[in-house]
């Protein structure tokens, strides 16, 4: 039987990869099954419904990103508390975070269903695009509470020393979505509604199954228990996780701006091409995000335990691993640009060529994005939510907005794709500056 890796251990490269591997695969698999909707809608329903899914998805992601805030922010606080040797307190914090996220999820579902039509219209949708966006969105919104829990537990499984269990739950949820899409869209021909129903079902599995696991006596470090309201703990959780919330909200807002720019420069084809890039990018970026999520509880634990030598070792090894991942993904993206693009839009030659060119330019962003993703997560794990939020805010909002507004004036449509690369490069510079500035305080 394999040794269960504990947060308190010393981590060499092999052990660090073993610890983070389930989180990496879990988030890659989550990305794969999310884009299954896009594949089935594009190939079996049509280009306009596919555009509608891509158009409304940023709004849905904003609501679901609350789960990352609770998961990363709460996970950092819980792991630090475990490192201090306070297991009962950690369980009460864990329970408080879960219960608070459920309440928020229900409120957001009600809000989203009530206001999705005017929001979609405000973003520029009309006619069939508006109708399809509302149809897809309202079904997904029914599962928003579970969607939030799913994101949250993906982070907290690592904190509970059960990353492999998190992977199994994600695989089960993903398979339900894939099978559901194949049946509802390709066999039963339920169209956009079928794709949305399959996704909602998978989110329910991904969120509720872990809830049932932690509600019972289990072999992990954490269990749902009775708790009491703790405003300061929730505030700390929100501040800790604000960078992940900011990152997801910013990316969604920027996606809306990209869609508006693309509609102006190339029409609906540009939005569809950008949708393909975002789908594929989700898979590639999930490797960086999965590594960051998987390693964060270790950073928090050793920070709580005051082990500065281990923090220094973790940071150094992580930078090396991120660099290796980046080179592999850049090479893979360039090699697979045509077949991956053809998978989604191979039925339209003009759209295919537009997507392939965009993909080849966009792929350079993979050389840089991992460092800022890990850097933001690293500061969250150190319970320094303000620095983490600053990195995410600059990376996903300020730099991208400035670039996507300026670059198209110089390079036309290519400028939109180059803007993503430029934003990621600037984010690396900012991350390095913060790491240098805070080195003495945290001793890494």
Percentage of the chain beyond pLDDT 90 is 48
Tell me which DSSP letter residue 217 carries: -
DSSP E strands, 132-208: none
Q: In whole angstroms, what is the distance from residue 170 CA to residue 206 CA?
A: 6
Residue 405: pLDDT over 60: yes
pLDDT at 166: 86
- Which of the residue ranges 58-67, 108-117, 142-151, 416-425 would you say has the lowest mean pLDDT? 58-67
pLDDT at 61: 81
Helices 47-64 and 127-141 pack at an angle, to 10 degrees, of 40
Tell me which DSSP letter residue 267 carries: T
pLDDT at 33: 66
More confident residue, 110 or 272: 110
Q: Where are the domains of the chain?
A: 13-442
pLDDT at 34: 65
**Residue 188 exposure: Cα atoms within 13 Å on the Cβ side:** 15
- Show the DSSP H helices in 266-398 as ranges: 268-304, 308-345, 349-362, 369-381, 385-393
Token pair, residue 202, equals: 């998978």
Tell me which DSSP letter residue 224 carries: -
pLDDT at 430: 96
Q: In whole angstroms, what is the distance from residue 145 CA to residue 153 CA?
A: 12
More confident residue, 214 or 31: 214
- Which of the residue ranges 222-226, 386-390, 434-438 would you say has the lowest mean pLDDT? 386-390
Q: In whole angstroms, what is the distance from residue 75 CA to residue 163 CA?
A: 13
Token pair, residue 394, equals: 């600059």
pLDDT at 213: 96
Mean pLDDT of 33-51: 82
pLDDT at 376: 92
Residue 3: pLDDT over 70: no
Write the CB contacts of 198 (distance below 8 Å, at least 6 apart in sequence): 36, 37, 176, 177, 179, 180, 181, 183, 184, 185
Q: Using alpha carbons, select from 293, 237, 299 the residue that is nearest to residue 83.
A: 299
Question: Residue 305 phi/psi, 5° resolution?
Answer: -85, -5
Q: Using alpha carbons, select from 374, 369, 282 the residue that is nearest to residue 58.
A: 282
pLDDT at 202: 93
Mean pLDDT of 221-247: 87
Q: In whole angstroms, what is the distance from residue 443 CA to residue 273 CA?
A: 45
Mean pLDDT of 182-188: 93
Q: In whole angstroms, what is the distance from residue 93 CA to residue 115 CA?
A: 33
- Which of the residue ranges 133-142, 168-177, 263-272 would you say has the lowest mean pLDDT? 263-272
Q: In whole angstroms, what is the distance from residue 286 CA to residue 154 CA?
A: 12
Write the CB contacts of 322 (distance below 8 Å, at least 6 apart in sequence): 288, 291, 370, 371, 374
Residue 142: pLDDT over 70: yes
Q: Using alpha carbons, select from 187, 240, 199, 222 the residue that is nearest to residue 77.
A: 240
User: In Å, how far are 147, 243, 410 from 324, measured between CA atoms?
Assistant: 32, 25, 33
Please say whether the beta carbons of 60 and 202 come within 8 A. Answer: no
Residue 444: pLDDT over 50: yes
pLDDT, tens digit, 9 for 90 and up, residues 6-15: 777 888 898 9
**pTM for this structure?**
0.73
Token pair, residue 333, equals: 């993206």
Q: In whole angstroms, what is the distance from residue 24 CA to residue 17 CA?
A: 9
Stretch (H or E) spanning 92: helix 87-122
Residue 104: pLDDT over 70: yes
pLDDT, tens digit, 9 for 90 and up, residues 406-432: 999 998 889 989 998 999 999 999 999
Residue 235: exposure state from Cβ atoms within 10 A (0-12, 13-18, ≥19): exposed
Q: In whole angstroms, what is the distance from residue 80 CA to residue 82 CA?
A: 5
Q: In whole angstroms, what is the distance from residue 351 CA to residue 221 CA?
A: 50
pLDDT, tens digit, 9 for 90 and up, residues 44-61: 998 889 888 878 887 888
- Which of the residue ranges 63-77, 374-388, 410-424 would you say has the lowest mean pLDDT? 63-77
Mean pLDDT of 141-159: 91
pLDDT at 133: 93
pLDDT at 1: 41
Q: In whole angstroms, what is the distance from residue 128 CA to residue 134 CA?
A: 10
């Amino acid at each position: 039987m394999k040794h269960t890796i504990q947060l308190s251990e010393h981590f060499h490269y092999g052990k660090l990869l073993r610890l983070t591997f389930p989180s990496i695969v879990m988030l890659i698999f989550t990305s794969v099954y999310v884009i299954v909707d896009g594949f089935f809608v594009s190939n079996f329903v049509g280009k306009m419904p596919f555009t509608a899914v891509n158009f409304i998805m940023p709004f849905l992601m904003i609501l679901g990103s609350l789960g990352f805030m609770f998961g990363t922010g709460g996970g950092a606080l819980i792991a630090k508390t475990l490192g201090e040797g306070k297991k009962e307190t950690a369980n009460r914090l864990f329970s408080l975070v879960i219960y608070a996220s459920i309440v928020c999820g229900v409120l957001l579902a009600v809000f989203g269903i009530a206001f999705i039509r005017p929001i979609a219209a405000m973003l520029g949708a009309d006619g069939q695009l508006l109708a399809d966006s509302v149809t897809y969105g309202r079904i997904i919104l029914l599962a928003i509470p579970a969607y939030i829990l799913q994101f949250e537990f993906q982070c907290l499984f690592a904190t509970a020393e059960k990353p492999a269990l998190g992977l199994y739950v994600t695989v089960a949820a993903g398979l339900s979505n894939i099978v559901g899409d194949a049946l509802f869209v390709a066999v039963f021909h339920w169209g956009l509604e079928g794709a949305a129903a399959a996704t909602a079902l998978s989110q329910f599995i991904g969120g509720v199954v872990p809830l049932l696991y932690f509600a019972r006596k289990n072999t992990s470090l954490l269990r749902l228990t009775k708790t009491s309201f703790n405003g300061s703990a929730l505030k700390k959780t929100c501040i800790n996780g604000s960078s992940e919330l900011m990152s997801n909200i910013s990316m969604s807002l920027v996606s809306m701006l990209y869609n508006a720019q693309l509609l102006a420069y190339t029409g609906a084809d540009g939005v569809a091409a950008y949708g393909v890039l975002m789908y594929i990018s989700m898979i590639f970026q999930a490797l960086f995000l999965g590594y960051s999520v998987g390693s964060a509880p270790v950073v928090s634990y050793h920070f709580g335990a005051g082990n500065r030598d281990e923090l220094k070792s973790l940071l150094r090894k992580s930078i090396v691993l991120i660099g290796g991942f980046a080179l592999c993904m850049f090479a893979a993206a360039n090699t697979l640009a045509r077949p991956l693009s053809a998978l989604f839009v191979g039925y339209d030659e003009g759209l295919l060529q537009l997507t392939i060119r965009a993909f080849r330019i966009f792929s350079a962003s993979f050389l840089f994005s991992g460092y800022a993703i890990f850097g933001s997560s690293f500061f969250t794990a150190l319970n320094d939510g303000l620095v983490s939020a600053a990195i995410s805010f600059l990376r996903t909002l300020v730099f991208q907005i400035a670039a996507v507004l300026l670059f198209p004036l110089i390079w036309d449509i290519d400028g939109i794709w180059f803007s993503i690369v430029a934003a990621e490069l600037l984010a690396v510079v900012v991350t390095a500056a913060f790491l240098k500035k805070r080195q003495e305080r945290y001793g890494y």
